[in-house]
Amino acid sequence: GQNIDQPTEMTATEGAIVQINCTYQTSGFNGLFWYQQHAGEAPTFLSYNVLDGLEEKGRFSSFLSRSKGYSYLLLKELQMKDSASYLCAVLDSNYQLIWGAGTKLIIKP
């Protein structure tokens, strides 16, 4: 079967750095997405990785290792507004998006 694993919940301090991991086992791979979802709101796009390596976008970076079936989202200089759920999703060989259950990130002052 297809599976996406992420930690259920993480806590970090304002101003710090946090890394949210995602491991996947899917039938084929055509890219990996990270989305942010604030409570009661819709998911919004953060990043897309299809090649190995690190993609940096401001305070957020996303890393992919296809051989290890692994990705992480790195958030720097954490702000209170970063409190949200972070969803990892993989595009499989049929170009269907397989979603993880999401990681709830709690930021403390």
Partner 1 sequence: IAGITQAPTSQILAAGRRMTLRCTQDMRHNAMYWYRQDLGLGLRLIHYSNTAGTTGKGEVPDGYSVSRANTDDFPLTLASAVPSQTSVYFCASSDGTSGSGGTDTQYFGPGTRLTVL
106 touching partner 1, by CB under 8 A: no
Among 62, 102, 105, 107, binds partner 1 (CB under 8 A): 102
* Strands (DSSP E) found in 1-109: 3-5, 9-13, 18-25, 32-37, 44-49, 53-57, 60-65, 70-75, 84-91, 97-99, 103-108
Among 4, 18, 20, 84, binds partner 1 (CB under 8 A): 4
Instruction: State the binding string over 6-45 for partner 1 (x if CB under 8 A, else -).
Output: ------------------------xx-x-------xxxxx
Whole-angstrom distance, CA of residue 62 vs CA of residue 71? 7
97 touching partner 1, by CB under 8 A: yes
Alpha-helical segments (H) within 22-62: none
Q: What is the DSSP letter of 80?
A: G
- Which residues make up the interface to partner 1 (CB under 8 A)? 4, 30-31, 33, 41-45, 48, 87, 89, 91-92, 94-102
